[in-house]
Every structure is written in structure tokens, then in C-alpha cells.
Structure 1
């Protein structure tokens, strides 16, 4: 999640609550068949998750205990994983396993010498069951340290079927069709989009989808690594494209000022709450959890999604985020921690959380029937079916000072751009200045 994207959210649980102890398409999900080889040992796990996410992950840890005999202890770090884990290492109290929500943080940990490379068993599973892109994002300088357990599909546009039907609009296939459909929705009495501009990370996600589709994966990778400058014409072009939506008061609920005072949960409420203000909201698959759990929407009936449309003749983008499990080198029980990672790499482990809802796995061996509803199955199929065309959230790959800090860097500059999108070239120059400083430091 994933970092700030999902720590507040529950997942798409439309059918999971009704499933009880039985998984969709099979019997009870259980670790089962273990030899209790780790009986008496304790594995400590640190991660950003809280609330229902933490409870669902605990079900996975409990299944590991049932299989191996090892006890587990989960510690929620909040969003600032790097600082919390660093202080625990310095204090001689390092956890065994950390669920890392950012590629940049994983790289930081590896370069500080904090991480243990994945075992041969875990590496074999990743090679066999995951698209190579997940190995790439879990590796630093050719060494695989991170096992991606939970993923998010961040190229989904969520909508009210009632609102689109009333406007006579069908899910669009291109960005231009998206804007046209939005204006038609607006003519019917609702704004097209609820935009969560108060949370700068949502704006980075808007930009990343436009940029990946319009500029292509090669330039996306270069920009993410900052080997391509933000002043490149491709960036200016993407900002110009995004600006067409931001500047159109017919499209954004309440215009830029209201958008800048709307956080992510508030944007979902404007579409799926008791008093709808808009027909659509862009964000990841985790929108479904809020729509269902907060507003009782039946996923696939009262709330549905379409893929983020292709931009400028490019391919439809597939942007993802995710949480990678790593084992700390200074951990007191690193060997048992690595056994946990080997378990997390299996479809057996993924099935536990898939049954509970609010979860997507990058593991291609997890059967789609393990997910609780058709919409989640569709998002999972889109994610795993994209193979190497998936690209990890760009801001999560950047140093936190640029891509992950409230009130500074990319978050702040894209909020300024939402407020006034009239100067894409000037915004690109400011982004480059902030990026250059962050990557240099």
C-alpha cells in the first residue's frame, strides 16, 4: 500500500464478510500441514498497517504460526517506516521482518547494509511465480532483498453506475473520451470528478498514469530514476494534458479550491456518500473498501470501475504500489524471519488475506477464485496479466523529500498546479529543482 495509500483503508469486502470460514471456490483457507519446525520461536514484524489491514495481515501471521509453530508479533510503525525502524536498529531492538511500502526506502535500507538477501527458496519462488518486474523492484544492485506480498492497482477509475447511466455515458477508452464523458455527466447535474487535492499523493498518481501512457515505460523509468529531467518536453506535455482536466470547473467538483480541501476519504464520499456531488473518483482498487465499508455500496452494482484510459495514442497504463517483506540483518531471529518470507511468497499465504478482502497479490499462482467478488478478480487479473508492463508508483521510488513528504516536493508542487494549471513549463522547472536537490541529498 502501501504507505499512505492504504493505511487508513479497508479493502473490497463486499462478499468476504459473508463467506465466513470458506474461501470463494474452495474450502477453508488454512496453512495446514506444517511440521511445527519453529515451535518456541518468535518472529517480530514491523509495518505501516493498522485497523482492518493489520487484522487481516494477522490472519496470515496466524496461519504461519499454525504451519510452523513460530509465534509472531506485529508492530505498527505508522507512515514513517524509515525513522521508526532506524531507531529500533540503533537501540538494539530491530524487528526480524519489515513490510516496506516504498521502493526508495527498500533501497535506503539495503545501501545502509541493514538487509539480508532473500534465501534461495524465496528467490526460486519469485522467479517462478512473479512477473520479473516485481523482482526488479525488490532488488538493489542485482541482489534480491524484498518479497512483494501485497500490491495495489492504481490505474482504476471508480464510478457510480447510476450516475453514468443517468447521463447516458459508458466507460471511456481514451483520455479524450474521459473528458467528454465527464462533461456529459456534468451536464446531467453532477460534477464529473471528485479530486482529493488535499492529499498530494493522489495528484502524483494522476500524473503517473497520464505520463506512463503518454510518454511510455522507458521514459517513465528514466524519470523515476531521475536520469531524465523533469524539464523534459514529455513532462511538460503530460502536465498540459492533466491540466485540461484540472482547469475545467465543469469537471472538478467545486473547482480547484474545493478539491484542495478534499482528502482521499472525502473524495470517495462525494461519489458514493449519502449526498453525491460527482460521478467519478480516480484512485486505486482500495476505493472499493471505502465505498463498501463506509457507505454500504455493493461492489460491481452500486460502485464499479473502469481502467484508467489510454492517453494520446499510448497504451492504457498499469501503475502499481505494494509492500515488500524484508529481513533485517541485525534481527535477533533472522532465520525464522526468512522462513516467514518463504511462506509469504506462496499462494497459500496470499489466499488467507484474499479471502478476507482488501488485498491483491502479485503472485501469478494465486487463483482468481480466491478473491471474494468479480470486481476484485477483475483488478487482480489486470494487475497480474500486465506482466512487465506494470510500473511501480513513481513517487514511491523517489527520495521521500521529493516524492513522499506532505507540504514539500512533488506533493506540494502538484497541489500548486491544481490550483493554477496555466504554466506547465514553469511547474516542470520547479519539479526538476526539487527533484535535483532530493536525489543529490
Structure 2
């Protein structure tokens, strides 16, 4: 569920895009647009009872045919992704439509993090998937450098140009050449809360970090632990850090740290870690304390927030829009029992961070290129949108395709941001640092969650791991 895998951040100079600096300066405008969208997320919405994470949308069942696909009877191809549960199920519905239109047979291949290592094993064994959904720009770059990836063909590029802002095209490119279709996006600057808990505590939605701390105290005083943290999955901790760092240090520092142009021993990193420790360092504010959090996987961090009525294990859980999928596994309704507010401002601006999953071709064929073309079209995204727990950066997907007002507002805000966004920092890094369980940033922040007093030690470890991964 790492996904796509949404601060919204822009890929650094690794794409070779000369307009990246201009987009970086647009952070405030982009943040305002996305914050405006997420502020409306507390409106009631028809959350789903099933594991699809959203209500039914009859409009999404009426699939359109805006893209022409070849007949591929007798052809077969495989698609690898680190998606499980409802996320995998819903993507398979999209693949079913591709099969229906083309006659090709598509097999979904469950992958594991880090996906680059998984793909390396498959390639070494002579069985690479035809297409892989890569959750990091850094992974796309590595796949290209290793000679695994194939550039997108003319048809897929045409769909990209028609349906995606230049910024989303750029982060799927390496040295100016398009390799990835960012099929799935995520707004990763949201905090979800149990409305019964907030009502009992007399708490309201905070807009600043200090207000968040006040809200946490009110929830704690009411008898409920404030936060649920899925610390067993290190990527959730990187997302916490990125939101704090982007808001507190600002977009320019964020871009520099993402590219390792400044060291993790920089004072700005110490400031962000110290801020995080205001929550992570309070054992009574984290469900199960640090040890409990480090044994809690992301899905459980969500479900334990929305089960147990007004006495759940925690009152709030931080993560992206895809939390809706896991809420759908409980009896809670999004928009009534479960609501959401934007990650509060630590500095002058509230952070807006984005992530995403890109389709990358590993075995060049007419079928693989056709699937990439389909995934770049509004057709594929419209099907997935109607199933819930999904956002598309495709600007030609109608907001009405999403099953509830919560997702419609998030989708509108995502598209409205255009080229002005920041992408998840750890996803920009080499996978050895930003995308490997038990190593690099994931492990260093897990260790920091265990001992939030050791800011300097955490910085030293982060810098040592980053220098080794970036090669500088």
C-alpha cells in the first residue's frame, strides 16, 4: 500500500527538465489549491461498506472508449505491482476491461518491496513481467540505468500529452525521454480522525501544528490515545517526516534534501526531527507506544482507529487518500464516522505532498505498449475511480467518476495543481535509501521512533545511508 503510492513535490533535476525551478516556486499556489480541496473533505460522503473503500458510482460502470486499442487475440502479458487487497482487486477490474477490448490475456503478478530487487530476481531468472508499476521516480531511473526499461511508444506518448500536465510527464521521464505512465496518484498530506472521539473530546480540526498538539491533548484527556502509527512499515514514517520538513523548512530546502544537495546533518533536518518528537516522543500519544507502533502495519493502523466505537485504540491516523480503502474494511462511513483534515502547517504554509505509481514497460511488445496506452487514457482511470480509494493525475477524468464527495474534492484539487507540486521525497531517492524495508531512511526513522531523543544520532545514520545510496 506504499503507493502510490500524495506532499506534492516535483522531481528534481534528475529528469533534466529546465522548468523544474519554475515549478518549485509555485509551491505556495499549489499548496493553496490542494489545501482548499482537502478542507472540504469533511463534507458528508457515501463511504462504502465493502472492502473497495468507496460507494457505488453507476456512472463509472458506463465505460467510455476514448482510446483506440489494437486487437491482441492470443497475446498474453503480465503486470507486477506491490498492491494487495482491495487495491489489487480494483486494478484487476481495469485489466479485465483491457482484456475485453483487446482479446489479450493479462496476469497480475504480486510483487514485494523493494520492487527493484523483486524485478531483479525475476529478470535474473528469465521471467520478467511485461509491465511493472513502479512507486518511485528513483526506481524508474534505476530500471533505465540497468537497461530493463523500454521507452513509451508514440501512442502512449500521445495519450500522456493529451491527458497529463507536463509535471506528471516529467517525473515519469529520464533524461527527457518518457518511460513511465503515472497511472495512480496519492495526496499524502491528510490526517483522518474518528468523529465520535473528536466529539467526545470537544476537539475541532486543527490548522497548525500547535493546534494539532492541543487537539491531541484533548483526545488524550478524554481517555483515548491520540495517534495510530503504522511504524512496522517504514514508509509511513518517511511521509510524516516529509510533511513536517516541507512545511517547516520550505520547498527549496525540500528539493535540495531530496536530491542530497544538502546533508541530512543540516540544521533544518534537526528542526524537523525535533518537531516530530513532540508527538513520537510522547509514549501515551501513540497507540501501543513506540514498540506497539513498530509492530503495527499500515492497514492495522487505520482499522484500529475506526473500530471500537468511541473507544478505539486511537483517535487519529496520518496517511494519504488511500486510507479510504482500509476504512472500507470497517463499519465506519467516510464523511460521517471517519473524516479528514489537511496536515497542519508547521511553518508558514501547510504541506502538500504527493506520491504515485507509474506503469513502466520491461518487455517491449505491441501488447505491453497497448496496455501503457490504455493506462494513460481516461478510460482506465475512470473505471478505477468509480471503485474508490484511488486518485488519478489524468486531467481528463471527470470528477463525477469518483464515488463520493470526499474523493471528488481531492481529485479536483490534484488536477487544479497542474505542474506546481512536490513529490514524495523518499520516492525520489535511490531505493537503497528511500524504498527498502529494514534499511536506509525507513530503518533510521524506525530507530528514531524508538528513541526520539537522539536527534543527532538519527541525523548521522540518515546521512551515512544517504551518502552510500547516492554515491556522494
Gaps of 5+ in 2: 7-45
Give the direction of change, closer, same or farther, for the CA distance of 1:119–1:371 in structure 2 (3 Å limit): same
Give the direction of change, closer, same or farther, for the CA distance of 1:65–1:283 in structure 2 (3 Å limit): same
Aligned equivalents of 1:20 and 1:302: distance in 2?
A: 14
TM-score (norm 2): 0.84
Aligned to 2:336: 301
Aligned to 1:127: 161
Q: CA deviation at 1:16?
A: 7.9
Q: Match of 1:93, SS?
A: coil
CA RMSD, Structure 1 to Structure 2 (Å): 2.8
Q: Which of residues 396, 410, 415 in structure 2 aligns to 1:365?
A: 396
2:151–2:177 contact (8 Å) kept in structure 1 = yes
Aligned to 2:407: 376
Q: Which of residues 248, 271, 290 in structure 1 aligns to 2:326?
A: 290
- How many residue pairs were aligned? 431
Aligned to 1:142: 176
Aligned equivalents of 1:130 and 1:216: distance in 2?
A: 26
Aligned equivalents of 1:121 and 1:354: distance in 2?
A: 23
Aligned equivalents of 1:33 and 1:105: distance in 2?
A: 28
Give the direction of change, closer, same or farther, for the CA distance of 1:15–1:131 in structure 2 (3 Å limit): farther
Aligned equivalents of 1:201 and 1:26: distance in 2?
A: 31
Choose between structure 1 and 2 for higher RCO, CA contacts under 8 A separated by at least 6 residues.
2
TM-score (norm 1): 0.89
Aligned equivalents of 1:181 and 1:189: distance in 2?
A: 13
Aligned to 1:413: 444
Match status 1:344 vs 2:375: yes
Q: 1:132-157, CA deviations, whole angstroms, 9 ceiling, x for partnerless residues?
A: 33222211122110001112221110
Give the direction of change, closer, same or farther, for the CA distance of 1:406–1:99 in structure 2 (3 Å limit): closer
Aligned equivalents of 1:210 and 1:391: distance in 2?
A: 13
Aligned equivalents of 1:285 and 1:20: distance in 2?
A: 11
Aligned to 1:9: none
Aligned equivalents of 1:165 and 1:40: distance in 2?
A: 58
Q: CA deviation at 1:108?
A: 0.7
Q: How does 1:224-373 map to 2 (within 5 A)?
A: 224-274=258-308, 275-293=311-329, 295-313=330-348, 315-328=349-362, 331=363, 334-373=365-404
Give the direction of change, closer, same or farther, for the CA distance of 1:279–1:15 in structure 2 (3 Å limit): closer
Question: Larger deviation: 130-139 or 88-97?
Answer: 88-97
Aligned equivalents of 2:54 and 2:403: distance in 1?
A: 11
Aligned equivalents of 1:20 and 1:180: distance in 2?
A: 31
Q: Match of 1:300, SS?
A: coil
1:14–1:292 contact (8 Å) kept in structure 2 = yes
Give the direction of change, closer, same or farther, for the CA distance of 1:44–1:364 in structure 2 (3 Å limit): same
Q: CA deviation at 1:5?
A: 6.1
1:22–1:29 contact (8 Å) kept in structure 2 = no
Give the direction of change, closer, same or farther, for the CA distance of 1:391–1:232 in structure 2 (3 Å limit): same
Q: How does 1:396-411 map to 2 (within 5 A)?
A: 396-411=427-442
Q: CA deviation at 1:122?
A: 2.4
Aligned to 1:74: 108
Q: CA deviation at 1:385?
A: 2.9
1:269–1:276 contact (8 Å) kept in structure 2 = no
Aligned equivalents of 1:19 and 1:354: distance in 2?
A: 11
2:87–2:325 contact (8 Å) kept in structure 1 = no
Give the direction of change, closer, same or farther, for the CA distance of 1:18–1:139 in structure 2 (3 Å limit): closer
Aligned equivalents of 1:385 and 1:16: distance in 2?
A: 30
Q: 1:368-412, CA deviations, whole angstroms, 9 ceiling, x for partnerless residues?
A: 111111222233233333333432222222222222223332122
Q: Match of 1:391, SS?
A: coil
Q: Which of residues 366, 379, 391 in structure 1 aligns to 2:422?
A: 391
